[in-house]
Chains A and B, each alone.
Chain A
Amino acid sequence: MAGTLWRPILFTENAVSDRPNDLSLEKFRRMVRIREFETVAEAIHAAGEVPGALHTYTGQEATGVGACIALRSDDYMVGNHRSHGHPIAKGAKLRPLMAELLGKVTGVCKGKGGSMHLSDFSVGSLGETSIVGSGIPVAAGAALGAKLQRNGRVSLCFFGDGASNEGAFHEGLNLAAVWKLPAIFLCENNGYAVSTPVSGSMAIVNIADRGRAYGIPSAIVDGQDVDAVEEAVAAAVDRARAGGGPTLLESKTYRYADHAVNMGRLTLNRGPEVEVWRKRDPILMYRARLLEGGIAASVLNAIVEEVKLEVQDALAFARESAYPSQLEAFDDVFVERLPIPAWLSEDII
């Protein structure tokens, strides 16, 4: 029995959002959009339509959406292999994301990135990088670029608990601290690095404690509560924009599925903790809060129905789209296309 149960730290159980109502509905919509996208992605992966691995974001929706809703649309964002939730949270269109899962040329990466790399630069993304921790120095560099260009943007990096044991985490945080960069490092602590619980890879309980070592203000936030995440990130963003430097946030959250689909079942039996976490499901919790705040159930139900249609539209688009031509394999290595090897060009030209 691997696995550690930790008690979520609740900062804002009764917090009242001071943001306008329409943003609340937008947060709800984006979380539902991620959940529905992942539900469909798992189904088509199981049916053999999606090549390669699939790492789903289900359960972590409040972290992605809470963080992105606190960003401006032109702020930068770097994510990781669990890449589906981040662009959806930042407002990306679903069609290119779904088409990428199927390896189609209309995919956001023209079919060259796939499930682990759903990065949409049009919404400020600078990559969803699948080498654990490798996005952290990149996010620091984007913050450096923003500072040098005085464009007022901030750079937010999503990474997991496992990434905080990589050298890149320490190097990236230290650089951001010493150069006072407008960066927000947001650890999505979902409890496990593949199958290894946090307790098996660190001698401390909270990743946020590591911020102190670099002189970076840190906080722990309830990752199931979209308002709490938004509030914490908004404070970090304000500090960063004001020249106050980086912040390390640790969002305590949980992924319901295996590290990657079909990967964990043999090695990981998480027991009853899954059900404990499901009771604090980010979408259920937020739905209850919205209802309590006077939003009609019919409004929320309508959003769910709209999102379902949207995801089905994306899937139809992805299915109808063409695969890339073989020439595409030689594009984007450099700005200019590479020469095609003679043995290959005979077949395709």
Chain B
Amino acid sequence: MARATYLEAIRQAQMEEMQRDSRVFIMGEDIICNVFGTTTGFVDMFGAERVLDTPISENGFIGASAGAAMVGARPIVDVTISSFLYPAMDQIISIIAKSRYIYGGQARLPLVIRCCLFYGNSNAAQHSDRPYSMFMNVPGLKIIVPSDPVDMKGMLKVAIRDDDPVLCFEDSTCWSSKADLPTDPDFLIPLGKGDVKREGTDVSVIAVAGAVPLALKAAQKLAGLGISAEIIDPRSLVPLDRDLILKSVRKTGRAITVDPAHQTCSAASEISAMIAEFAFDALRGPVLRVATADTHLPFSPAIEKSLYPSVDRIVTAACRLVGVEHFDSAQGTV
């Protein structure tokens, strides 16, 4: 075990899988100069052929990853920032998500597309997106959103070994978080298995990506108020660990979903709907969503930060749910 950051976990996962399997290679913009530190030393270790800088040509190289995967290579595509997926929507949705299906299972696309959720730092509306829920609406894409270094390492390794396309969203607000990383080269966390990050009895807080550390801090505060919050991290959105979420909600009778994405059609919305549909009988109040306001993210720090989920918003939501048994749903979400 060695203390390491979330970014270092990404580096280790990629390094170990590239050592393990010579079919794995990585490509993306400025991989060699290594902007975020997830490919340090890779050219020396693996050679320039397996560590490819690309032109700024997302539709081209993301599409190329599909072709390479179909002929037996296992690409990791580093797309830097999540908004850069948009020029490649055609390839991601019409080719990567659908090729296996439309050709009746003849195609296999073992590829990973990585990008970071780069928000909260005055990068303005075009560079601050958290778009995973858009892709949840497309069958054929597995989606992971690890929130700590251990999950990141174990899940990214599994994503690289998976025979289906996986989108890995890396929350930049988690980059510097540290943990003891397992050194076993076969340390693996299966996709579709959520995790109880903190046990509790009064309210279930189902948090996504960078909202998990916020929920854990909120749970500490709530404990001081005599409220026991259970924090659930789905870790992967596709497949989604419905059983773990529903089990927790059935236990506590209350649910809050927390998601850094814009609220409408967010992962929080989908999880809330799922809870309302399958655990309605267990609920003692409405399912509340704590997500980002449905407006663009402004540049000015004076008005950006308050739009995201926060510890205080989670605490307030939990107090309202626990303190008011017959919460007036006409007041809307928190």
Chain A residues proximal to chain B, CB less than 8 Å: 76, 78, 107-113, 117, 119-121, 126-127, 129, 131, 134, 136-146, 148-149, 153, 155, 167-168, 171-172, 174-175, 178-179, 331-335, 338
Contacts and interface: CB of A to CB of B under 8 A. Distances in A.
Nearest to A175: B60
A134 B57 contact: no
A142 B70 contact: yes
B155 to A, nearest CB: 16
A145 B105 contact: no
B105 A137 contact: no
B71 A76 contact: yes
A338 to B, nearest CB: 8
Interface string B83-124: 000010011001100011111111110000000000000000
A110 B57 CA distance: 34
B64 to A, nearest CB: 3
A335 B108 CA distance: 8
Contacts of B64: 137-138, 140-141, 144, 172, 175
A142 B65 CA distance: 8
B50 interface: yes
Nearest to B142: A334
B60 A174 contact: yes
B70 A145 contact: yes
B67 A332 contact: no
Contact of A140 (B60, B107, B139): B60
28 contacts: A78-B67, A108-B103, A110-B104, A111-B104, A112-B103, A121-B103, A121-B107, A126-B70, A126-B107, A127-B102, A129-B94, A129-B99, A134-B63, A137-B67, A138-B66, A138-B95, A140-B64, A141-B68, A148-B68, A149-B23, A149-B71, A149-B73, A153-B71, A172-B63, A179-B52, A332-B104, A333-B140, A334-B142
B312 interface: no
A335 B163 contact: yes
A103 to B, nearest CB: 11
B72 interface: yes
Interface residues of B, number: 43
A327 B41 CA distance: 47
A23 B106 CA distance: 29
A113 B60 contact: no
A120 B94 CA distance: 18
Contacts of A113: 102-104
B99 A127 contact: yes
3 closest cross-chain pairs (CB), A and B:
A141-B67, A137-B63, A171-B60
B224 interface: no
A119 B101 CA distance: 12
Given A148-B50, A171-B57, A175-B57, A126 B95 contact: no
Interface string B248-259: 000000000000
Nearest to B62: A137
Given A137-B67, A138-B63, A138-B64, A119 B103 contact: yes
A118 to B, nearest CB: 10
B59 A171 contact: yes
A167 B107 CA distance: 24
B125 to A, nearest CB: 23
Contact of A109 (B62, B70, B103): B103
Contacts of B23: 149
Given A137-B62, A137-B67, A142-B67, 11 more contacts: A110-B105, A127-B102, A137-B64, A137-B66, A138-B95, A145-B72, A172-B64, A175-B54, A175-B57, A333-B100, A333-B140
Nearest to B67: A141
Contacts of B226: none
A117 B102 contact: yes
A4 B54 CA distance: 39
B332 interface: no
A145 B102 contact: no
B83 to A, nearest CB: 17
Interface in B1-50: 23, 25, 49-50
A28 B74 CA distance: 39
A146 B67 CA distance: 10
A134 B102 contact: no
A60 to B, nearest CB: 22
B67 A155 contact: yes
Nearest to A172: B60
Contacts of A129: 94-95, 99
Contacts of A107: 104
Nearest to B63: A137
A145 B75 CA distance: 9
A214 to B, nearest CB: 11
Most central of A120, A138, A142, A331 by chain B CB within 10 Å: A138
Given A149-B72, A172-B63, A131 B94 contact: yes
Contacts of B108: 335
Contacts of A120: 106
Nearest to B71: A145
